[in-house]
Structure 1
Amino acid sequence: MTIQKSTFDLGVPWEDAAGYAQAVMVDDTLYISGQLGHRKDGTLVSPAPDGAQSVDQSVMRDQMAQTYANAREVLAHFGCTFDNVVEEVVFATDIGAALAVMRGVRDDIYTDVAKPKVTNTTVGVTSLALPGQAVEIKFVALRTRG
């Protein structure tokens, strides 16, 4: 049996180099690869000092906000919004900084009155893929039929 899937890429350099898609839609389930706080050209916003185990909360906030902005673009490609998201997994190099800013950033993203109605797992990690990267967030969303 062949799975029918639709994919989407943001056009950043590492997609081809690493050989993956930013998102894969199977039936009504959208699996979004870990998003990070990069601009359209692939450069990070507010890069953390290279090799830093702790980061300023403003670095985490800036990268996290851009991460959600990038995820919004991926969701929109498939006709979804953050209201369709059912799960997110946050990977952060500084768990304290992530937890300190996460709720404020997420309150601007999720529009449900009882914000946010999404499962969340937050994991502290020693490093991420790009130098200066402080956070990465993967998502699962369900597209509703209308």
Structure 2
Amino acid sequence: MSTQSGVVEQFAQLGVPWEEAYGYAQAVKVGNTIYISGQLSHDERGQLVGPAVVDDAGKIIDSSNMALQMRTTYENAERVLAQFGANLDNVVAEVIYATDFQAAFVVAGQVRKAAYGKDRPLCTSTIVGTTRLAFPQQLVEISFTAVV
């Protein structure tokens, strides 16, 4: 599918409410490269899976669902990649954004290995701590670059 710029050959959506509200594609394919927007832990209806506990001010007070959110995020990335006939084997780079760096670092190795199905996933990986993500109960977001 082309856009008016003629650069994007194909794009993917998941049908979640914030795609229209924010105005973006989950992923775009240019040539043989797929650029995937930050994925997060949500179900098919757009409901957050494993939301973090927050205080009255919206500050996260419990990051114990980090592994669950991270696993679900990889599952959503697989759903996006499938729209291009690809999967996590096609990923060459990822960036993990986490509101609790320590909690993410503790589970990331195990979750990543399970998601990619190998002890040494063949993609670059960067993990970044951040104070906040799109939703107050969101612990992690992961963006990807894949090649087909």
TM-score w.r.t. length of structure 1: 0.91
Aligned match for 2:134, one of 122, 126, 129: 129
Residues 26-105 of structure 1 mapped to structure 2, 5 A cutoff: 26-50=30-54, 51-53=58-60, 55-57=62-64, 59-105=65-111
Q: Secondary structure at the match of 1:41?
A: coil
Q: Is the 8 A contact 2:63 2:139 kept in 1?
A: no
Unaligned stretches of 5+ residues in structure 1: none
Distance 2:93 2:62 in 1: 25
Residue type at the aligned position of 1:33: S
**Aligned pairs, number:** 141
Percent of residue pairs bearing the same amino acid type: 50
Q: CA RMSD in A?
A: 1.5
TM-score w.r.t. length of structure 2: 0.89
Per-residue deviation at 1:110?
Answer: 1.2
Residue type at the aligned position of 2:72: Q
Relative to structure 1, the CA distance from residue 4 to residue 124 in structure 2 (aligned partners, 3 Å threshold; closer, same or farther) is: closer
Q: Is the 8 A contact 1:55 1:94 kept in 2?
A: no
